[in-house]
Amino acid sequence: MKKIFACLLALGLILSLNANAISIDLITDKNATSIGETIELQVRINGLDDATALGSYDVNFHYDENLFSISSISWGDAVQGNQLDLLGFGSLQDSSSNLGWLNMLEVSFDEIADLELLQAGEFTLFSVLLNTIAIGSGDFSLTTNAIGDAYGQDLFIDSISNTTVNTSEVTVSEPAGMLLLLGAIAFVALRNKASQHKQ
């Protein structure tokens, strides 16, 4: 009987720990693109609750600089707003980059109680817009330097997901290709006709 009780207790503890698992996901708007197009990657956190709010983060966003170049970055969630600036007091924001990585740091100025009460359980930390510059398969990943809760204590992240985007040459669809060919034939025909009139 004691063994069964111990097993049930252990199982309940495991399930309760997994119920509040906090993860960070890299989400792209497309997994395949062509040279010259742009892609957007969102860095999203989820699994927060009333007792656990995010107060700060310092992360490195890694990308393949041979395939992509950074166009712009935006802080916060496009729909929910910046969840580290809930009351409009602002937040400390800093970014720096080098070939293949982008460091993003943000610290909230909001009160602990406001972060715990008002912050969403899932939201975008920041988004990165990238230009596709070459053909290949590009991996995107994230490493954490520091993740802090509303009190400034280390916040344990259970998992961080990566993503891959494949790039290819610009393809011209058949109707567009036929229009180009017909246009070239019409241009040559008109040019020949004009040169005959001059003679």
Q: Report domain extents, the chain.
A: 22-187
Asked if residue 63 has pLDDT above 60, the reply is yes
Contacts with 45 (C-beta within 8 Å, 6 or more apart), sequence order: 22, 23, 24, 25, 54, 122, 123, 125
Given a cut of 90, whether residue 194 has pLDDT beyond it is no
Q: Give the residue-averaged pLDDT of 144-155.
A: 96
Distance of CA 170 to the CA centre of its chain: 24
Instruction: Give the number of other Cβ atoms within 10 Å of residue 194's Cβ.
Output: 9
Here the tokens at position 151 are: 């009190």
Give this prediction's pTM.
0.76
What pLDDT score does 44 carry? Answer: 98
Q: Which of 62, 63, 27, 56 is nearest to 136 (CA)?
A: 63
Calculated CA dihedral for residues 25, 28, 31, 33, nearest 10 degrees: -150
Each residue of 79-103: b (16+ CB within 10 Å) or e?
eeebbbbbeeeebebeeebeeeebe
Q: Pairing between strand 32-34 and 68-75?
A: unpaired
DSSP H or E run through 15: helix 2-19
pLDDT digits (tens, 9 = 90+) for 66-125: 999 999 999 999 999 999 999 999 999 999 999 999 999 999 999 999 999 999 999 999
**Cβ distance 105 to 58 under 8 Å?**
yes
SS3 state of residue 53: coil
Question: What value does the mean pLDDT of the chain take?
Answer: 87
Among 22-36, 98-112, 127-141, 157-171, name the one with the lowest average pLDDT. 157-171
Q: Is CATH 2.60.40.680 correct for 22-187? A: yes
Whole-number Å distance between alpha carbons of 60 and 142:
6
Amino acid at 188: V
